Amino acid sequence: MNQKKIIVIGAEFGGLQAVKKLAKCDDALITLIDRTNHHLFQPLLYQVATAVLNPADIAIPIRSLTSKYDNVEVIMGNVVSIDKDKKIVFTKDGQYSYDFLILAAGSQTGYFGHSEWEKYTTPLKNVVNAIQCRKRILLSFEEAEKHPERSSELLRYIIIGGGPTGVELAGSIAELSKKIISGDFRSIDTSKSEIILIEAGADLLPAFDRELSVYTKDQLIKRGVNVMLNTKVLNIDENGIHVSTLEGNKVIKGNIVVWAAGVEANPIGKSLGYPNDRGGRVIVDEFCSFKDHPEIFVIGDLANFKDKNEKQLPGLSPVAMQQGRFVADIISRSVENNDNQRKPFKYTDKGKMAAIGRKVAISQINNIKIKGFIGWLAWLFVHLYYQVGFKNRFSILISWIWSYITFKAGSRLIQEPIDKI
C-alpha cells in the first residue's frame, strides 16, 4: 500500500477537523505537528481569566483526541521553516517530508507594529495568558485588602479592544468584582472596582448589527463598565495608556491592562514565500491553496481567503472548521480515487455570538438577531456543543450551574507569586 504523507501544522479548530476527516482515509499517513500538547477552546479563555473555569475545562490533550486513529502521528514541536519545492517541513528537532501539507497554525497576539507595548499589557490568546491574567486579577484584590488606601488604583482594570474577547472579559470582570466576591473582603468594597473598555471605533462588536452593538454597550454600562468608544491608543508605557479621544488626548492608568485589540497570523506562513496581507495572513486562491503548489493548503486565521464578492472571511472558528473539512475532502479524493478536480470553497455563515454577562448574550445569524436571556441560552448551547470531549462538556456545565446558582467562581486559587509566572 502506497500511503501518502500528509502533514497538518496546528491542532486548532481547522487542523483538528482536517485530521479527523483524513484519518478515515486508509491510504493517508497523517502527521499532526503542534507546539503544545493540547487543543484549546479559545472562545472560553476569558472564563479561565476570571476564575469561572479551570484550564483543563477548555483544553484537551491532542493525543487523546487522535489515539483511536492508527494512521495519525502526533509531534509536539515548533515548526521553523518549510521548503515547498523539496516538500519538507523543518522543526527545531527534525524534518518531515510530505505529499500534502495543511497549514492551520492560527494566529498570535498582534500589537499593530508596537511590540514594545507587550511588556505593559496582558494578552489573552492561550492558557498561559489566561492563567497569568487570572493571577493578576485575584492578586489585585488581595493587595487592595492589605492596602485599602490604594484600592481605587489597584482595582482599576483596562481592556483594550471592543471585539468579542474584550466585551466578554469586561462583563466577566465586572460580575466577578461587583457580585461574586463582593462580600469576601473586609477592608475594601470590590464592587467599586473600575473596569474600562477602550475601543477605537464608534461601536463595540463592529461585526454585529449596530442594534446589537448599542445593546451590548448599554448592558455593559448597566453592569458598571466604563465604555470608551472612538478612543484610539497612541502609546503604552510606564506612565499609562496614551489615548486620543473626541475631547482630546489623555493618559489612563490601570493596575491591569489586558490587550484584546488584535491578532496577527502565525509567522510560519511567511516561510512559504507567498504574498501576505498586513496581518501576516497568506493570500490563498479559491481552493485555500496555490496554483503552482496545489499540494499546499492554508486555512483558518493563517489564511487570507476572499469569497466571490472579494470579501475576506473573518478569523472565526466556524470558518477554520469548514475550511479544514474542505481541504481534507480534496486530499482524500486525490489519495483514494486520484480525483484532482476541485470546486471553490464556499463558507456557510452559521452566525456569531457574544456573552455580555450572566443571563445576557447576543447572537446574529444573517438578519436574525437574538439578545438577552434567549441569546444567553443559545450561547450556552453552542459553546457546549462545540467543546471537544464529553468530560469537557460535563465539567463546564457543572461549573456554569454552580456559578449561576451560587454566584461563586470555583477557580480562585493563587498557586504562586505573580513574579514567577
- Grid cell listed for 342: 476541485
Residue with cell 443559545: 378
Query: How many Å apart are CA 92 and CA 323, to the nearest integer?
Result: 28
172 in the Ramachandran plot: left (φ > 0), alpha (ψ -120 to 50) or beta?
A: alpha
Residues carrying an active site annotation: 168
194-198 vs 225-228, strand pairing mode: parallel
Query: How many Å apart are CA 172 and CA 157, to the nearest integer?
Result: 12
For residues 321, 324, 326 and 329, what is the CA-based torsion angle, rounded to 10 degrees? -130
Query: How many Å apart are CA 156 and CA 119, to the nearest integer?
Result: 18
- Grid cell listed for 269: 506562513
